[in-house]
Amino acid sequence: MNKFICITAVSHMRREATHKAEIVSQLLLGETAELLDETKDFFKLKCLYDGYEGWCQKSQITELINNSSATHFYINEAVGVVEVNEKPCRVSLATPYFKENIIAKNFKLHYPEQNILNATEMRFNEENIKYQSYKYLNTPYLWGGKSVFGIDCSGFAQQVFKMFNIFLMRDAYQQAEQGDVVGFLQQAQCGDLAFFDNDEGRIVHVGILLNNQTIIHSAGRVRIDVIDNAGIINTETGERTHQLRIIKRINNR
């Protein structure tokens, strides 16, 4: 299998091979993917981290030459720097970090020293969960996004958990299939995931519980709101915005 690698800060993964198509996810710089198909201007790729598929602009993706594509190290600053062909590229929090240069077709990625996190050493406790999730506060909501430049609800949960070496699927309804059910909100702990449904009963939203009364989630922007047994209440307007369906505790930590 030939691996392809993202060589821009983010590359939108679109539902179809056109700039007008819906963004379904993103690749961050240094993330790798399997080639499935191509057109003149787009590659259809399968992200090797979460198996998500979409069409990426060819100018933002290139073939990986060396095989240094697995890492548990991530940039731990809101905005970090990776040198792409000796020119700086501003990258998002949680972008993969490599100790050795990445060699790709026509490109070299070099990783200067900066604030780096080893996900295998991060304890999944209240202090660290708040520290990592708060870094995304006020990031604008972007459907399909997973960076500090724009992020959706499930992308936010996935990227925060990634910093603890905990794998989450890409979409909220997929994440809702992971972990163990927490029977009552009053039993919830910091780091549990709360899922919310629409009038048809479909899971459409997810957030990270800070305790059994507050939640951090991406809705309009990454924000902290009140939660009760019925769902989320906007702390600024008092409006009830999401109806609670289920709480899960991820058991692979």
pLDDT confidence band for 68 (50 / 70 / 90): low
Using an 8 Å Cβ cutoff, are 214 and 223 in contact?
A: no
Using an 8 Å Cβ cutoff, are 47 and 40 in contact?
A: no
pLDDT confidence band for 38 (50 / 70 / 90): very high
Residue 67 has pLDDT above 80, yes or no: no
Same fold, 3-117 and 122-249: no
What rounded mean pLDDT belongs to the chain? 96
pLDDT confidence band for 209 (50 / 70 / 90): very high
Q: What is the architecture of the domain spanning 122-249?
A: Alpha-Beta Complex (3.90)
Neighbouring residues of 69: CB distance < 8 A, sequence distance ≥ 6:
3, 5, 32, 48, 102
| Residue-level pLDDT at 173 | 98
Neighbouring residues of 206: CB distance < 8 A, sequence distance ≥ 6:
153, 154, 157, 172, 175, 176, 193, 194, 195, 196, 217
Residue 21 has pLDDT above 60, yes or no: yes
Please list the active-site residues: 153, 205, 217
pLDDT confidence band for 58 (50 / 70 / 90): very high
Q: If residue 3 lies in a helix (H) or strand (E), which one and from where to where?
A: strand 3-6
| Residue-level pLDDT at 2 | 80
CB-CB neighbours of 220 under 10 Å: 11
- DSSP for 36-82, written as a single string: EEE-SSEEEEEETTT--EEEEEGGGEEEB-S-----SEEE-SSEEEE
pLDDT confidence band for 69 (50 / 70 / 90): low
Q: pLDDT, tens digit, for every residue of 84-99?
A: 999 999 999 999 999 9
Q: What is the pTM of this model?
A: 0.96
CATH fold group of domain 3-117: SH3 type barrels. (2.30.30)
| Residue-level pLDDT at 66 | 76
Q: Which amino acid is at 38?
A: E
Using an 8 Å Cβ cutoff, are 28 and 9 in contact?
A: yes
| Residue-level pLDDT at 59 | 97
Give mean pLDDT, residues 192-218. Answer: 97
What are the sequence ranges of the domains in the chain?
Answer: 3-117, 122-249
CA angle 4, 40, 18 (to 5 degrees): 90
Neighbouring residues of 4: CB distance < 8 A, sequence distance ≥ 6:
32, 33, 34, 35, 43, 45, 61, 62, 63, 64
Residue 253 has pLDDT above 60, yes or no: no
